[in-house]
Structure 1
Amino acid sequence: MSKIDRYKAGFKKPDRRYAIYPILHGNSFEKETIETLDRRGFAGVVGNVPYTKDFPNDQPAWDKAINGFREYIDKGMHAWIYDEDGYPSGSARGHVTETHPEFIAQGLYCYKYWRVLIGPRSYRSDIPDAKLYRAVLVPADGKGDPVDITSSLNENNVLYFDIPEGKYYLFIMSIRRLFDGTHATQSWSEPRNYISLSDKEATKAFIQCTHENYKKRLSDEFGKGILAMFTDEPSLIAWQITAGVFPILPWLHSYPKDFEARYGYDFMLACVAVALEVGQDVVKRRCDFWEFIADTVAEGYFASLQDWCHENNLKASGHMLREESLQAHVYNYGSFYRAMKKFDWPGIDQLEVDIAPLMNDSEIPIARFIASFADISGEREVFTEFQDLWYRFTEDKIAGIECYYNTINWHLAMGVNNFTSYASYKSLTDEQIYDINQYTARSGYLLRQGIRDSRIGIFYPEATMWADYILNCNEDARDDSERMVSLEKTFAASAWELLHRQVDFDYVDFELLLNGVVKDGKLTYRDRAYSVIVMPGTRVLQDAVAARLIELAENGITVMFCYELPTVSRETGLASPYAEKIAAMIKDGKMFHEGSIEKIGDFYDACLPDKSRSIRVLDKDGNYNHMILSHCRVTEDGSQVVYITNMGEAVFTGTLSIVGDFAEVFEANSFTGDIAPVAFTKDGDSVTISVSIEPGEGRFYLV
């Protein structure tokens, strides 16, 4: 029997779980809705208990939800539990913050008086309408540590203090509820207080009134008919969507004590470094601050949810806020990467169905970014919350059938194999929707075979992000500084230039680099094996990672630096002790560097070794087509599943070459479920197939 024969049954009649899960809140448990979803071939539903003013004690609402979930399951469908009423997840429609006002998220509002104060002299100042955390005098030259004048606050909330000799700025940090202009007021749900993601006790309260109530009534289906818990767009909200007056830092009452216990100095000094970019050890302190925030968020919220899910045979799942913005990763989570590692089934929020925005190469390719987490962890399940919402509300259009296939094919190429959806399907018939579900399920079946053949790791430069992001009160907390903008451009380009060349890759972090094992010229981690490490815009780097890069290069692994070199030590904020060695290795051709963001593509063409890829897609003139996306998977027996899709506006005609001594090549048709042999030629150690792909079309090849 051919190796390919084992795919035929599972592909022709795929597991229903691999189809699409509509996300429904209002009518998800109505009999007519359940029957319609069943008839249309959907996988099941993402749903939640109807939230009323009596939540979580409304027994009829719970009865309706539980009976509805069971009816889906009885019909052979599956379900995810959506853990909130609207979004962001965490407050249980305000129940947590209403019953525990001490859990309401707070921020440090940072006010710097614009005038330089010259001492010695006496001075008076009122403070913002909030609880004072610290008032300090910051040396105007940016050198030296601030002078703490907090104790000069009198019973009337007025500061009376003496200015020492010299020039200073007055800087006041005040604790205030996070609400005005934040995600608490700007979501599509309702104006709602929120919790701090760093607060484990707040998360416990959320779990107690939400997750535990599902457990009481539905635990017999956990891990069977009920697959996962879905948490939606949690974030620190310590920033303003609308333009603000004062910049904001995240705050929790335990931060100062916990920070000092970990880093050995006053939390206030780190706050000043982040807010004003001044003081001693400014780079180190900025990194300390955001690293501390990152770990409290990852452990306080995301790990708490994951631990509960694991204890109850469920997968922890969900997606974040503003996944596409590197700087938003800082102010929303401290480190997006550290938080995302706490998901079993990581996901994205994709609002677009048109090809142009899907292929926007100025932003992080979020589907490939998020899929990396599941590829590296070994979970293999990556989901999207896709929808035509933007299309309907901003362009007042109804998505045609081609839009659905466009977005599905884009997701498949990026590595997404699990589809949840807010899509309307308004223009489609029941038969067309059924066909889309079959197409998605068949494609999802093949994308669950083997592992993605990523041989390149793109580094997530969190220390550089921490050092470079400038706190501000702009709309969306947008930092337009040259350094931050360049870092975002570099990070996006380093990925898209690989996608444009149909090269598979993962995003990796410092822990993977440090914990991986060097073997046969590759960095191995679990079942991953990287022959190339790309370092985009990495100016600030942990000393241990810099030393590791040198070791990797000395052991035959290609190390490529895009735009910046790691010249600054994350631990000290001073010159990296490894900078000279790295520069020397670049000069000797043992490492590689390109200083221009615009030339990263050419840099790849010149320096990527052949071993970094297993397929090559070329047009009839022998060139790459930037609108072709690909996805290559390799199984234990060496057979491969190769997927390519055309995101361009014209028919693509060219060749697909796959490295390997293969005796058979088949095409798998996700529309019909048929697998048929195709003609190919052998060229050295590769097989080559002639391909012609319509705009928006996707193709699977099995070898």
Structure 2
Amino acid sequence: MDREVWKNPQAAKELEEAEIPLWFWNDKLEKRELLRQLKMKTEIGVTCTIPHARTNGGEGYIGGYLDEDWFDKIDTVMQYKKKHQEPLWLYDEIDWPAGTCNKTITLEEKYREQYLTFQKFEIPAGKPFRAQLKSVTGKRITGNPETVEKGEFDYNIFIFDKVTMQAYDIREYFKYLIFGPELEFQADRDAVAYVAKVQVDAYEYGGKGQVSYINGEATRAFLQSTYEKYREYYQTEFGTTITGVFNDETRMCNPLPWCEEFPGVFQDRKGYSILPRLADLIIPGETPGRTRCDYFDVVAYLYQTRYFGEIHKWCKANNLKLFAHLLGEETIYGHARYSGDYLRQNKYLDIPGADHLGKGIGSLNIKYTASGAHSYGKDMTAVEVFAGCGWDITFEEYIRMVTWMYQMGMKTIINHGFFYSDRGARKNDWPPSQFFQWQGWSRMKEGNAMIRRLHYALTGGCSEMEVLVYHPMESFWLQYEPNLLYTHGFAEGAFLENEQAARMDRELQLLLNALLSANIDFELLHKDALENFKTENAIMVNTKTDQRFSLIILPMCRVLPVEAVSLLKQFAEEGGHILALDELPAMAMPQSADSEVIQAFRNMKAQGKITLLPIEDKEAVCSEVIRKIPHPVKIVQGSKGTENNHLCYPSYLIDPYLHTGENITGVMFTRYIKNGQRNTLFMNYGNKEVTVQVAVEADKQPEVWDTFTGTVQRAEVIKAEEHLYYLLLRLPCNYGVIVRG
């Protein structure tokens, strides 16, 4: 790394996208004030920004959107940016979530989110149950017995024995009357019926904010209404002045999303029709759970391709980078509920993103985003942060949070936000502003310099770690019983009723936090990224990043994709270490490969290739990992890890997660390889300076690069052996230092 860049990072043009605040346009805009605020940002080194109109319930932005007035204001910013050779990102919506074009796309019902609902009926023994027969779309089914029974099985009624949950074939109970088939069911045992329906909310009652993200037509309508407008005005600036697009907080609003093409896509990808099995999505048990696995796999695929894939294709054609953050990144439950599979949604993002509300630190949302990015070979990541921290957040808390974001794998800080105005109720819109209204503004130039240094040291290479954890998404789907009583926006909602699903959600959080607390860094592997990995002499290699892993953890992985099984078999045969927690995989995706999975893991277990431990014993898990992996950097004396006061969330969703009261203490370090050299970021999360002794593998005496002051000095060596240095590190509180060597 260049010492001059480190000393004066604000002079380096290549670091201009280290910090990119959301600039809240939350009042009536005046050109003179826009230019004044742009100049203030330039003076502290914040040279890239994202204009973001926020209405704040009527006490915010005053002006037009995507009209002549709007583009007149954007043009004021554009001309300033061109003159000063600074970059600009576009925010592709007014307010949020993205995809609605100020709630105009959803005026058309066909673009709103469709979802499945189920009504349950108890059928006592001997009592008739009668109903008109309809399809799941609500249309009456007509026709004679021959055409109905030979047609596609999409009836909306599903009946089960109440005790055994064995399904009845309701076609045996049809009556063919003048207007078509009707159902008349009666049995000598208690039964239960589920009546399914595809539903769409009315625009006035929630539908206006519920665009369908698995409907490619809705996405293309959004692109036409918004992206094409910007292209008309600024195509010549794309890729030069305008470099990126911010796509904000998309998610499935309802637990069981649907779209017109869903049955066909499901049939093509899974080889069977989902229509006769729709009730499997809500009834307990592993047999219906196999259908749920396939259903959520298709949801994740459609979200990935029909929304992010479409927008990415447009951005790539127009030389723009796509950034997005989703919702519910904190837990595996949130991943299933809001996106089918969160990690897979990073595939088509040029800059995968996270959101972090509140000033608590220690959650897993940031780590999940970084892993999702790295699994696809993407180095750049960004986090929208500081919303909900409150006006009393101090500068010291600010830079402490920034450093934790970088340790978890973020590369760009997107401030939420820089307020154009704090007039009246505007000051209460998820504060604080980190702009001139904030108590810490006088030190923001120092903060920007630190952010740029961290960006400089931790980009252009790859994160270094030895542990790869398979994210047990398929196993969670198997147990997950969606709660249909919640849509979005709740403080305590959508409880996990299935005990095994709740246990998985809890124990996975506890496991990942235990690893981080012990300074055991890791990446997460998932189904969609398996093609990017290969084995090489008992090492699992990410072919996109060249990251190398010597140990793989399978936490509660009852279900595994068959592609993962073949990869793990080869890894084990070469001598790689596999640690299975709680159980060995026994089911496959697809289901037809179950026997292959069972036999493969039986053989690996018999040959001593797998260590099996209970997932509750985190101490034993961490000890086993530490025993089996190399340690090029190690704390040998002093605080050897961190303590986290908030190791997991309760077994219900929070929308949105507000990180308050969360905290970690102690010392954490993370490693990054850049240009063949190791940069290790050490951070002391205590409230006073601490001293630790560390052992570092290096070819020459390491140096300490201070991220806040910009100083560089030789590390204090206690003793040196061949390629191994024992150092004395004095770690300040609130910000980190990088040991380079």
TM-score range, shorter chain: 0.7 to 0.9
1:265 corresponds in structure 2 to: 272
Question: Per-residue deviation at 1:58?
Answer: 1.6
Q: Cα deviation per residue 1:431-477 (whole Å; 9 max; x = unaligned)?
A: 30111111111111111142211322111222112111111236532
Asked whether 1:193 is paired with 2:209, we answer yes
> Which has the larger displacement, 308-317 or 63-72?
63-72
Q: How does 1:299-378 map to 2 (within 5 A)?
A: 299-353=305-359, 357-360=360-363, 365-378=364-377
> Which has the larger displacement, 367-376 or 601-610?
601-610
Asked whether 1:635 is paired with 2:635, we answer no
Distance 2:7 2:731 in 1: 26
CA contact under 8 A between 2:63 and 2:70: conserved in structure 1?
no
Question: Per-residue deviation at 1:419?
Answer: 0.8
Question: Per-residue deviation at 1:297?
Answer: 1.1
CA contact under 8 A between 2:114 and 2:212: conserved in structure 1?
yes
Identity across aligned pairs (percent)? 19
The residue identity in structure 1 corresponding to 2:106 is T
- Please give the secondary structure, in 1, of the residue aligned with 2:601: helix
Q: Cα deviation per residue 1:199-251 (whole Å; 9 max; x = unaligned)?
A: 00000000111111111111222222222111111111114xxxxxxxxx212
- Please give the secondary structure, in 1, of the residue aligned with 2:316: helix
The residue identity in structure 2 corresponding to 1:620 is G
1:251 corresponds in structure 2 to: 258
> Which has the larger displacement, 466-475 or 3-12?
3-12
Asked whether 1:531 is paired with 2:538, we answer no
Distance 1:22 1:12 in 2: 16
> Which has the larger displacement, 222-231 or 153-162?
153-162
Q: Cα deviation per residue 1:643-702 (whole Å; 9 max; x = unaligned)?
A: 011223454321222223x21311112223222222223245422221122332311121
| Gap change, CA 1:47 and 1:564, over 3 Å in 2 | farther
Distance 1:640 1:652 in 2: 23
155, 158, 162: which one pairs with 1:136?
Answer: 158
Question: Per-residue deviation at 1:574?
Answer: 9.2
2:694 corresponds in structure 1 to: 656
666, 674, 678: which one pairs with 2:715?
Answer: 678
Question: Per-residue deviation at 1:311?
Answer: 0.9
Question: Per-residue deviation at 1:587?
Answer: 5.8
| Gap change, CA 1:257 and 1:18, over 3 Å in 2 | closer
Asked whether 1:555 is paired with 2:574, we answer yes
| Gap change, CA 1:71 and 1:12, over 3 Å in 2 | closer
| Gap change, CA 1:154 and 1:624, over 3 Å in 2 | farther
Asked whether 1:22 is paired with 2:21, we answer yes
Distance 1:217 1:150 in 2: 63
> Which has the larger displacement, 306-315 or 219-228?
219-228
621, 624, 628: which one pairs with 1:603?
Answer: 621
Asked whether 1:443 is paired with 2:454, we answer yes
Distance 2:22 2:284 in 1: 44
CA contact under 8 A between 1:49 and 1:64: conserved in structure 2?
no
Question: Per-residue deviation at 1:480?
Answer: 4.1
Asked whether 1:42 is paired with 2:46, we answer yes
Distance 1:152 1:402 in 2: 74
Q: Cα deviation per residue 1:328-384 (whole Å; 9 max; x = unaligned)?
A: 21121111122122211011101122xxx3124xxxx22122112333433311100
TM-score, normalized by length of structure 2? 0.82
1:401 corresponds in structure 2 to: 395
Distance 1:40 1:174 in 2: 56
CA contact under 8 A between 1:12 and 1:672: conserved in structure 2?
no
| Gap change, CA 1:6 and 1:433, over 3 Å in 2 | closer
1:61 corresponds in structure 2 to: 70
Q: Cα deviation per residue 1:481-534 (whole Å; 9 max; x = unaligned)?
A: 321122122322332222222233211123444552221221222222221111
Q: How does 1:461-472 map to 2 (within 5 A)?
A: 461-472=472-483
2:93 corresponds in structure 1 to: 84
1:617 corresponds in structure 2 to: 635
Distance 1:310 1:639 in 2: 32
109, 113, 125: which one pairs with 1:101?
Answer: 109
Distance 2:73 2:5 in 1: 40
- Please give the secondary structure, in 1, of the residue aligned with 2:716: coil
2:661 corresponds in structure 1 to: none
Asked whether 1:541 is paired with 2:548, we answer no
> Which has the larger displacement, 165-174 or 197-206?
165-174
Distance 2:528 2:64 in 1: 42
Question: Per-residue deviation at 1:61?
Answer: 1.3
Distance 2:98 2:684 in 1: 36
CA contact under 8 A between 1:136 and 1:150: conserved in structure 2?
no
Distance 2:298 2:461 in 1: 37
Question: Per-residue deviation at 1:180?
Answer: 10
Question: Per-residue deviation at 1:430?
Answer: 4.0
Q: How does 1:125-274 map to 2 (within 5 A)?
A: 131=138, 134-140=156-162, 141-144=164-167, 147=170, 161-163=184-186, 166-178=189-201, 185=206, 192-239=208-255, 249-274=256-281
Asked whether 1:110 is paired with 2:149, we answer no
2:657 corresponds in structure 1 to: none
The residue identity in structure 1 corresponding to 2:278 is C
Distance 1:12 1:390 in 2: 28
1:245 corresponds in structure 2 to: none
The residue identity in structure 1 corresponding to 2:383 is T
Distance 1:506 1:402 in 2: 29
CA contact under 8 A between 1:460 and 1:508: conserved in structure 2?
yes
The residue identity in structure 2 corresponding to 1:174 is K
Runs of 5+ unmatched residues, structure 2:
56-60, 140-154, 418-432, 487-491, 644-665
Question: Per-residue deviation at 1:108?
Answer: 1.3
| Gap change, CA 1:214 and 1:316, over 3 Å in 2 | same
Distance 2:733 2:178 in 1: 71
Q: Cα deviation per residue 1:576-607 (whole Å; 9 max; x = unaligned)?
A: 5433553554465421121132x224322224
Distance 1:210 1:551 in 2: 48
1:32 corresponds in structure 2 to: 36
CA contact under 8 A between 2:22 and 2:50: conserved in structure 1?
yes
The residue identity in structure 1 corresponding to 2:45 is G
The CA RMSD measured in Å over matched residues stands at: 3.3
CA contact under 8 A between 2:679 and 2:740: conserved in structure 1?
yes
Distance 2:708 2:280 in 1: 57
Q: How does 1:276-315 map to 2 (within 5 A)?
A: 276-277=283-284, 281-315=287-321
CA contact under 8 A between 2:354 and 2:382: conserved in structure 1?
yes
Question: Per-residue deviation at 1:323?
Answer: 0.7
Runs of 5+ unmatched residues, structure 1:
186-190, 240-248
Q: How does 1:426-575 map to 2 (within 5 A)?
A: 426-472=437-483, 473=485, 476-513=493-530, 515-526=532-543, 527-572=546-591
CA contact under 8 A between 1:10 and 1:445: conserved in structure 2?
no
Distance 2:99 2:300 in 1: 17
398, 407, 410: which one pairs with 2:404?
Answer: 410
- Please give the secondary structure, in 2, of the residue aligned with 1:630: strand
Q: Cα deviation per residue 1:112-141 (whole Å; 9 max; x = unaligned)?
A: 12x234357453589999946712223322
| Gap change, CA 1:511 and 1:404, over 3 Å in 2 | same
